Amino acid sequence: MHFLSPQLEKYIEESSENEPELLEELSRETHLKVLQPRMITGHFQGRVLSMLSKIINPTNILEIGTYTGYSALCLAEGLKKEGELHTIDINEELIDLQRKYFEKSGFGAQIIQHTGDALQIIPTLDINFDLIFIDAEKREYPLYFHAVMNKTKPGSIILSDNVLWSGKVVEPVDEKDKATMALLEYNRTLKEDPRVATVLLPIRDGLTLSRVL
Ligand code: SAH
Ligand code: CA
């Protein structure tokens, strides 16, 4: 979903850091070979994730929703030398493609892939994460939030993607539209939960930045 004119989007991209070559290649291969390539993080949002991760300089990152690994590689750019990124996806068909690019990137040894339902896997990770990126099943965002809060510490940052859901969050909503209903609940929770401070950034399809107090 694009909220800005194509002209402005192009200008914003051109005025931001270039997309690394490896990520261009991953994006091309995803569009050629994988279903639903519009789910991939693109050039601009990828550079935002990379920049945020470099500012935070995390030791431990958790990603929920790996897809072909684009956002994982952007987040890995900010990892401390001894740091690790744990990424979870339910689709086992994507593992080999993810691994191919993780290895090519030089972050291969620091990225741990988990395959399965995020809600089953998160409780098994005995780590306090500095940075968490939530980008899997929209209907489960409220449950992801409660699951990951147990894996944070004061100062941890939670990034949540697609929170504007193509603008559906401000349109009349059908109660059967479970994704939009869940995102409305999720955005309200992030605003109201006293354990986090939140700003919703209008980056691409909406990217919320929450800081654990
Ligand atoms: N973060 C990726 C895009 C993720 S797309 C990027 O920016 O490039 C969403 C992913 O969530 C899909 O690959 C899908 O397989 C995964 N997913 C859906 N439901 C899930 C679940 N219950 N547990 C873990 N992953 C899930
Ligand atoms: Ca996304």
Q: What is the pLDDT of residues 124-169, one digit of tens each?
A: 999 999 999 999 999 999 999 999 999 999 999 999 999 999 999 9
CA–CA distance, 168 with 68 (Å, rounded to integer)? 26
Predicted TM-score (pTM) of this structure? 0.98
Confidence label for 117 from pLDDT (cuts 50, 70 and 90): very high
Does the beta carbon of 89 sit less than 6 angstroms from any atom of ligand 1? yes
Does the beta carbon of 137 sit less than 6 angstroms from any atom of ligand 1? yes
pLDDT in tens, 76-105: 999 999 999 999 999 999 999 999 999 999
Domain annotation for the chain: domains and CATH numbers: 6-212 (3.40.50.150)
Does 20 have pLDDT greater than 90? yes
Which token pair is 44?
A: 């601009």
- Residue 103, φ and ψ in degrees, nearest 5: -65, -45
Closest CA to 182 of 197, 163, 203: 163
Closest CA to 88 of 57, 110, 120: 120
Q: Which residue has the least CA distance to atom 15 on ligand 1?
A: 91
| Residue written as token pair 């590689």 | 73
Q: Which atom of ligand 1 is nearest to the CA of 117?
A: 23
> Do residues 191 and 162 touch, judged by C-beta distance below 8 A?
no
Q: Are strands 157-161 and 207-212 parallel, antiparallel or unpaired?
A: antiparallel
DSSP 93-104: GGHHHHHHHHHH
Q: Which atom of ligand 1 is nearest to the CA of 94?
A: 13
Which token pair is 30?
A: 């995803």
